[in-house]
Structure 1
Amino acid sequence: MIDDVDRIMAVMTAAFDPVYGEAWNRRQVEDALSFDHTHHGVLSARGEVPVGDEAAAAFFLSRTGFEEEELLLLAVHPEERRKGLGQMLLNRLRAEATQRGVRRLLLEMRKGNDAERLYRNFGFEPIGERREYYRTPGGQRLDAITFACEIT
């Protein structure tokens, strides 16, 4: 039987370009999900929670800390992009985070990431930049942008 970690890993493998080294390995995902303050969501291509052995088309991982929730990862399978799944995941994250008492969502991403438009359209605004924060597997240094979205 396929589980959510299997689903997350399948989407992550397809969605993240290995040039940037952004994908997590299975152990990192399992370790993150072992903590009560880490949350996830998966969606099928139908925009619903996958059932049985149905594959996921998108997922998010987040971590709650007091009144803030950090979006750690969000990915949509390349074949399922531009169908609203990213927006659905962000809406779900906001609703669930609100129930946990969260007042602000945070995320950090590589400067130049194509997902920036999705986040800005959702209401995320840049609040900081970390110069040369990320390092690619090839050794290139890339800037990171920190975004916040008030949800109360």
Structure 2
Amino acid sequence: MATRLVTLRQGDARDAGTVDALMAAAFDPRFGEAWTRSQCLGVLAMPGVRLLLAIVDDEPAGFSLTRAIAGEAELLLLAVAPPFRRTGVGRALMEAVVADCRIQDATILHLEVRADNDALYLYRATGFAKVGERRGYYRGRDGRQYDAHTYSLALGST
């Protein structure tokens, strides 16, 4: 699929419904990766947390949720709705996340991801390197456990 024009905008708690809808579309419930609305709202109230929404043709296409504090940052969530995958939405979000973390003076960006998640291709293409593993970290609705891998990206100084 071709790259599409992606508009990015900062979000906040008023976008909780959009985030819920994107998570429902993007995260398969069998893996137990999606957050609840109260988890998202709780994190959004914390210092250093940023919500970024991706819009394509006036339609919400994805979002990222990051936290930066004390020189480190973490990508907490990244979701791209299935119709917008492999169209440049994920890459646009990742590039904006990295740039924003640098602006916030973070020198390293961490994330964790299910070991067999297709998003690994995006993270590796962005320069992330695997630094650890958490066995059985995710628990799906059926009780099955899935490993998580931790990745980091050195951001250097701005």
- For normalisation by structure 2, the TM-score amounts to 0.86
Identity %: 40
Decide whether the 8 Å contact of 1:44 with 1:57 is kept in 2. Answer: yes
User: Cα distance, 1:55 vs. partner?
Assistant: 3.6
The equivalent residue for 1:67 is: 71
User: Cα distance, 1:65 vs. partner?
Assistant: 2.6
Decide whether the 8 Å contact of 1:69 with 1:106 is kept in 2. Answer: yes
The equivalent residue for 1:137 is: 141
User: Cα distance, 1:126 vs. partner?
Assistant: 0.1
Q: Give the 5 Å matches for 1:1-152.
A: 3-46=14-57, 54-152=58-156
Which digits, 9 at most, give the CA deviation of each residue in 1:41-65, with x for residues without a partner? 001015xxxxxxx441110011113
Matched to 2:27, the amino acid is F
Structure with more of its chain in strand, by fraction: 2
Decide whether the 8 Å contact of 2:55 with 2:62 is kept in 1. Answer: yes
User: Cα distance, 1:130 vs. partner?
Assistant: 1.2
Query: Secondary structure, in 3 states, of the residue corresponding to 1:44?
Result: strand
Alignment: residue pair count: 144
Matched to 1:9, the amino acid is D
CA RMSD after TM alignment:
1.4
The equivalent residue for 1:51 is: none
Query: Secondary structure, in 3 states, of the residue corresponding to 1:31?
Result: helix
Matched to 2:46, the amino acid is F
Q: Could you list the runs of 5+ residues in structure 2 that have no partner in the other structure?
A: 1-13
Matched to 1:27, the amino acid is S
The equivalent residue for 1:50 is: none
The equivalent residue for 2:9 is: none
| CA distance in structure 1 between the aligned counterparts of 2:115 and 2:137, rounded to whole angstroms | 10
| CA distance in structure 1 between the aligned counterparts of 2:145 and 2:18, rounded to whole angstroms | 30
Which runs of structure 1 show a deviation greater than 2 angstroms over 4 or more consecutive aligned residues? none
Q: Could you list the runs of 5+ residues in structure 1 that have no partner in the other structure?
A: 47-53
| CA distance in structure 2 between the aligned counterparts of 1:21 and 1:132, rounded to whole angstroms | 11
Query: Secondary structure, in 3 states, of the residue corresponding to 2:29?
Result: coil
